Chain A
Amino acid sequence: MIRFEQVAKRYPNGHVGLHELTFRVRRGEFLFITGHSGAGKSTLLRLLLAMERPTGGKLLLAGQDLARISNAQIPFLRRQIGVVFQNHQLLFDRSVFDNVALPLQILGLSKPEIDKRVRTALERVSLLDKVDAYPADISTGQQQRVGIARAVVHQPALLLADEPTGNLDPRLAAEIMGVFEDINRLGTTVLIASHDLALIARMRHRMLTLQRGRLIGDGEAA
Chain B
Amino acid sequence: MSDAASKPNPVKHEPTPTAPMRKRSEQTGPDLKTLTRAWLESHRASLLDSLRRLAKQPIGSFFTCLVMAVALSLPMGLSLLLDNLERLGGSWQRAAQISLFLDLQAGEADSQQLRDEIAAMPDVAEVELISREQALDEFQQQSGLGDALRELPDNPLPAVILVTPKEVDKAALESLRLRLDELNAVELAQLDLVWVERLTAILKLGDHFVFGLSLLLVMALLLVIGNTIRLAIENRRTEIEVIKLVGGTDGYVRRPFLYMGAMYGLGAGLMAWGILAFGLDWLNSAVVRLAGLYGSDFALLGVPGADAASLVLAAVLLGYVGAWLAVARHLSELAPR
Interface residues, chain A, with chain B CB atoms under 8 Å away = 20-23, 26-30, 49, 51, 72, 75-80, 83, 89, 91, 102-103, 105-110, 150, 154-155, 157, 184-189, 204-206, 208-209, 214-220, 222
Q: Which residue of B lies closest to A62 (CB)?
A: B21
Q: In the complex, what residues of A have CB within 8 A of residue B8's CB? A: 219
Cα(A146)–Cα(B249), bound, Å: 23
- Whether A27 and B246, one on each chain, are in contact in the complex, defined by CB atoms closer than 8 angstroms, is no
Partner of B242 from A49, A76, A102 at Cβ < 8 Å = A102
- Whether A23 and B243, one on each chain, are in contact in the complex, defined by CB atoms closer than 8 angstroms, is no
Cα(A26)–Cα(B243), bound, Å: 28
Q: In the complex, what residues of B have CB within 8 A of residue A216's CB? A: 4, 7
Interface residues, chain B, with chain A CB atoms under 8 Å away = 1-5, 7-22, 34-35, 37-39, 41-42, 45, 238-239, 241-250, 252, 335-336
Q: In the complex, what residues of A have CB within 8 A of residue B17's CB? A: 27-28, 187
Q: Which residue of B lies closest to A206 (CB)?
A: B11
* Chain B interface mostly: loop
Cα(A87)–Cα(B249), bound, Å: 23
Q: Which residue of B lies closest to A187 (CB)?
A: B19
Cα(A26)–Cα(B11), bound, Å: 12
Q: Which residue of B lies closest to A114 (CB)?
A: B41
Given that A75-B244, A206-B11 are contacting pairs, would A215 and B18 also be in contact in the complex, using a CB cutoff of 8 Å? no
Q: In the complex, what residues of A have CB within 8 A of residue B252's CB? A: 75, 106
- Whether A108 and B12, one on each chain, are in contact in the complex, defined by CB atoms closer than 8 angstroms, is no
Cα(A218)–Cα(B2), bound, Å: 10
Cα(A208)–Cα(B16), bound, Å: 18
- Whether A219 and B242, one on each chain, are in contact in the complex, defined by CB atoms closer than 8 angstroms, is no
Q: In the complex, what residues of B have CB within 8 A of residue A110's CB? A: 37, 41
Cα(A48)–Cα(B148), bound, Å: 112
A-B pairs, 10 with minimum CB distance? A108-B38, A28-B17, A219-B9, A79-B247, A157-B21, A22-B2, A215-B4, A187-B19, A78-B247, A103-B246
